[in-house]
Structure 1
Amino acid sequence: MTTALPAAFPAPAIRRSPALRLQLVGDHPAVVPAPGAHGGRVGYLVFLPADVDPVALMKSHGVRPEVHPLEPGTLRVPDPERAPRPGPVHCDEVIKVDRDRRLVEVDGRELELTYLEFDLLSHFVAHPYTVHARESLISEIWGYGHIGDGRTVDVHVARLRRKLGPAHRGRISTVRRVGYKYLPDHA
């Protein structure tokens, strides 16, 4: 069934200056900051072409840019000692993880895992007996920019346990109010 679209209304005339590409809004009344906040500032995400210098653009509009260098230790660099090694990881006789081929075998049967389930199980197997906080798992497995909470980890661990089966689901142990750990010798 087709329906005729209503006649187009004339668009209101918007006066745009071809030279003005960025409009900065300011001079609003000061906002009382929340406790622990650093002033009544609002941040904006502005996308610019790669060849545009943001500092020069701000100065051309009469805005004094504030540049705050990162403090040491704010960016987390992955520790190569803790990273799972490429190649087969044999933590125990039951679960075998082959990172090169992205395969997991449990008691000789291959598991069908999603991308994140594989990375999560591979991480657990590579670091047995280590307690992993939910937040650290999110940053290590999901990545730096992931927006989510600990519940995301809980859902993926539940799916992993289901796929491991009743005989091996206890190998991923819950550490209450913290996270999870992998126990390779769990019977």
Structure 2
Amino acid sequence: MGRTEPVARTVGGVSRLIHLNGPPGVGKSTLARRYVADHPGTLNCDVDVLRSLVGGWEADFVGAGALIRPAALAMIEAYLGTGQDVVLPQMLIRPTELARFEGAASAANAEFVERFVMDERDAVVARFHRRGDSDPAPWHRQVREIVAGQGGDEHLLRCHDALERLLAERPQAVAIVSRDGAVEATYRALLDSLAPSPG
């Protein structure tokens, strides 16, 4: 697919923070990379990429995330302030964490757009264990270790269930069905959900 024109923004040209929420391994980062490749000027604020820029991140992945989070929020707010969109592929379950990113969008007079990228419970577990086969990102080992330390597959299922509950509590959020191997269909569903309403 060739490069496309950016999807039209909301009335008045308001910039958007497009938050791709969802369980680990469901394809959030893949969608974010595809979206920015097709929409020049849009920033892919992948927190996992940013934390890998912190010295010693391999030994303390969680700590690096805590250190980089304020910088990510500041970068998001500043970039939205230029009138351009930002895509954030990041699992956020706690409402307090969601509020921080929503606040960054609000501070930049931008729209906070929530898309939950979801698959079935058992599929999420299988996809997490296969992640890394086609994605060379260097932090998969650290993420696997964290998940294993928090209960392994049971932790993944708890995350999935918590996200489903959160989705039900967020009236403006939209669920995007992501099936294993169906990248094109998932991406098209994302684009369709972001297109302006007719009229």
The TM-score by the shorter chain falls in which range? under 0.3
If the length of structure 2 is used for normalisation, what is the TM-score? 0.25
If the length of structure 1 is used for normalisation, what is the TM-score? 0.26
In terms of fraction of residues, the more helix-rich structure is 2
Larger radius of gyration: 1
